[in-house]
Amino acid sequence: MAEKLQALHENNTWTIVRLPKEKKAVGSCWVYKTKFHSDGTIERNKARLVARGFIQTYGVDYKETFAPVAKMNTVRVLLSVAINNAWPLFQMDIKNAFLHGELEEEVFMNCLQLILNQTIQKWFANFINPFMVSSKVHVHGDNMSEISALKQYLNHKIAIKDLGILKYFIGIEMAHSHKGCFLNQCKYVIDLLREANMTDCKPARTPLNSDMKLQSHGDLIPNIEYYQRLVNKLIYLTITRFDIAYAVSLVSQFIHAPSMDHMKIVHRVLRYLKGSIGRGILMRNNNHAHILGYTDTDWAGNALDHKSITGFCTFVRGNLVTWKSKKQSMVARSSAEVEYCVMALTACELICLKNLLLDLGFPHQQPLSLYCDN
């Protein structure tokens, strides 16, 4: 707490004034959090003073709150490029990240004038150069002197903490070896099983039963929030676990009115995770720059509305970077129509990947390859 208050003072975050009669002040509170290493040990205890910005009114107290963030697809593409170029991966932490945003609005708080909804947007507007996820900065490159100069420049502009080689961020573990870089969420899976009280469950070999019959009706579960929380955590787990993408997309369709049968599917996925905790994505240096995609789909595979399930995955420089399993929005009249739909969707994804590489400074001159299981 003392360190946070000192940072607030050094950044000239507030000015003590009398509250004008026509103004309303927002409250504040301390939020405490324990941060852990990838092995589960405590890294540090963290305190944050936050304002109760939820009592503000949109259009009156603030306007735009949109803040651009990096998609995980972009993260995986950049990692694939870095590994294929044998670049070192470094990570830095921005100290008191949101305090570097300049507020344009006048805000009053009972104790201290602090960051609110609009501060997030101002922070991103002030910091646009390095690749960023949350308050973490990832620096990649082939010139160590330039990387060191960039670190010194950032430390001069804003206080940063050099975390060294990239190993763990936002719940994703990265293990480096001569084979490449292995991405996994082992700790996340263990915590998820512990939350669901399934640490001692019997493992399953597959995420779903082969003879499963999906039903839209049934006895609703008494605790819908519990189901929604588990499904949301499974969605985040698909960052590195593409093998559960179809099962997670299936249970996500009933997130607003889940039945006991749907909860059994969630438990089946958790049992599968119990037997495959250490799985993830291995990114290698494949010494080529190909971009290719694979597609597959069924025809009227959903027994409830007779819509088809689309699936595709794409590779950049030999490494898996994006994938999707999704129910199509219309009912296809033939298997040929549904195949064309998934091919069009995957073609758009490949073009986006090509444009992303161009923005990163790696123009792709070769044809894009698309393979369809027809």
At residue 262, φ and ψ (nearest 5 deg) are -70, -35
Lowest mean pLDDT among 78-87, 146-155, 178-187: 146-155
The pLDDT score that the predictor gives to residue 323 is 94
The pLDDT score that the predictor gives to residue 275 is 92
The Cα–Cα gap between 192 and 186 comes to 10
Residue range 178-190, pLDDT digits in tens:
888 999 999 999 9
pTM over 0.85: no
Mean pLDDT of the chain: 80
The Cα–Cα gap between 94 and 161 comes to 7
Q: Where are the domains of the chain?
A: 2-63+70-170, 183-274, 286-372
The Cα–Cα gap between 171 and 158 comes to 25
CATH class of the domain comprising 286-372: alpha beta
- ∠ CA 157-125-50 to the nearest 5 degrees? 85
The pLDDT score that the predictor gives to residue 273 is 95
Inter-residue contact 44 to 35 (CB < 8 Å): yes
Residue range 281-334, pLDDT digits in tens:
999 999 888 999 999 988 877 777 788 888 999 999 999 999 999 888 888 888
Query: In Å, how far are 143, 218, 263, 361 from 257, measured between CA atoms?
Result: 54, 10, 11, 46
Segment 91-104 shows an average pLDDT of 66
Q: Is 355 left (phi over 0), alpha (psi -120 to 50) or beta?
A: alpha
Residue range 1-22, pLDDT digits in tens:
666 666 666 666 777 777 787 7
